[in-house]
Amino acid sequence: MSSDSSSSTSGPIDDSYEPAWGGVSDEEPRWPASVAIIVAMLIQAVLPHDLTRNLPLVILGLELLILIPISFSAPKRHKDESKLLRVLAIVVIALVSVANFATLILLIYALFFESGKVNSPELFFSGLGIWTTNVIAFALWFWEIDRGGPHERTHKGHEAPDFLFPQMSTPGSAPADWAPKFFDYLYIAFTNATAFSPTDVLPLSARAKLLMLLQSAVALATISLVAARAVNIIA
């Protein structure tokens, strides 16, 4: 009896078995991510230039030079997408992230060493802009890395998931062909920036955990240093 039990548990998995994350997504339009990038660019463009040293404006030009061509040449992400387009998409996200992080550093520097020229409205709106851009930037990173990227998620050869969504672990909670879209990753980024920890979506891979750690660190620095300083100025 014991031999039958061991063979039933340690034998090979049936070929018909498909994990909860084994499904594929349709060709995903690029426009939601492009709109998010444009929003981040607009935020960076209106930040106080005397605090940011116009650094975001320099990077904005590079972002536009890349974003416009790839948005029109490849409006949908699909499995036949060229490696060049994927690299360019990652470069745009990296530029948004670098510009936002640099802005945070410059703002913190101004708080500690040039506090005389910092007023509370500028500080509040700068902090809000950095926090919002942080959410957008990491939503783009999550969208771009999960299972190898939106182009890889369109066929069965995609990588194992970087995030565990409730729909993947609770049968019947979503259609059988459900797959995460950009808004799902935007939701992860928003909840992580507000709770500083995963909520209902769990990071599985080391890279997903590292990205969530970095996002929480930026959000925490923005809220604790910038917002707290703004309150002190008002008081």
| pLDDT (tens digit per residue) in 151-180 | 777 777 777 889 989 888 877 777 777 788
- Taking only the tens place, the pLDDT of each residue in 98-155 is 989 988 888 888 777 776 666 777 777 888 899 999 999 999 999 999 988 887 777 7
In order of 78, 126, 222, the CA distances from 230 in angstroms are 45, 10, 11
Q: State what percent of residues in the chain have pLDDT above 90.
A: 31
Question: What three-state secondary structure class fits 156?
Answer: coil
What is the structure's pLDDT at 108?
Answer: 83
Q: Would you say residue 231 has pLDDT above 70? A: no
Evaluate whether 152 touches 86 at the Cβ level (below 8 Å): no
Place of tokens 């994350």: 21
Q: Rounded to two decimals, what is the model's pTM? A: 0.83
Q: Is the dihedral of CA 62, 143, 212, 88 positive or negative?
A: negative
Nearest CA-CA partner of 187 in 175, 199, 204:
199
- Taking only the tens place, the pLDDT of each residue in 191-222 is 999 987 778 899 999 999 999 999 999 999 88
114 or 30, greater pLDDT = 30
What average pLDDT does the chain have? 80
What is the structure's pLDDT at 216?
Answer: 93
Evaluate whether 158 touches 147 at the Cβ level (below 8 Å): yes
